[in-house]
Amino acid sequence: MKKILFVSATNTDVGKTYACEKLLKHYAKKGFKVGYFKPFETGVIDFPLDGTKMLNLVKTLNPSFDVSINDCVPYQFKLPAAPYVAKENTIIDIEFLKEKKKYLLQFCDVLIIEGAGGLMVPIEKDLFIIDLIKIFEANAILIAPSKLGCINDTLLSVNALKAKNIDFELFINLYEDINSFEKVSKPFLLDYFGKLNFLEDLEKS
């Protein structure tokens, strides 16, 4: 059975690509053939930086993932903005993206899909990143930061997922306000969720 994980976050610059790296290494260590898919990358000048970095990593972990960067990152836009804005007159073809996902799945057991920005980033006027989770029939991974304000952002994202009946797994990325996280944010998050997962712990499992 193929496993598809869709990595999103509470906002931009929270660590989605870093999370993808951790997940790819985690599953490769367990013996799975891993793959990577980033439907949209914005802010692309010469080539997609994040997509290229992850594709190179995947090819070291799973040499049979013999695909091109255009397969891996089919939509590349120059403007560093939401796909809805960055695409300008380009029409996003969801069926095309579904076919790309199907194609990439041929080369792996576990496909890690990286979203753009947070859950509610628009792709079209009535289509958002969160909608791709069900479109791709994926399991959701939500990345939250450790910085001040993460409680509000995390709960807003969790409520958005629950409103669409999407099950998810939450991971905290300890990269900002680390020293204050234990006292400022962790007590509530621990009480609310009962248990917290940290990206750093994936290396140990």
- Binding-site residue ranges for substrate: 42
- Check if the beta carbon of residue 107 is closer than 8 Å to that of residue 64: yes
Contact present, 124 and 89 (Cβ < 8 Å)? no
Feature table: binding site for Mg(2+)? 17, 50, 114
Residue 198: how many CB atoms within 10 A of its CB? Answer: 13
> Of 38, 87, 100, 147, which one is the catalytic site residue?
38
Binding site for ATP: which residues? 13-18, 50, 114-117
Can you give 28-94 as a three-state secondary structure string? HHCCCCEEEECCEEECCCCCCHHHHHHHHHHHHHCCCCCCCHHHHCCEEECCCCCHHHHCCCCCCCH
Phi then psi dihedrals of residue 7, to 5 deg? -95, 115
Q: Which amino acid is at 185?
A: S
**Catalytic residue at 38?**
yes
Other beta carbons less than 10 A from residue 70's beta carbon: 12
Enumerate the active-site residues.
38
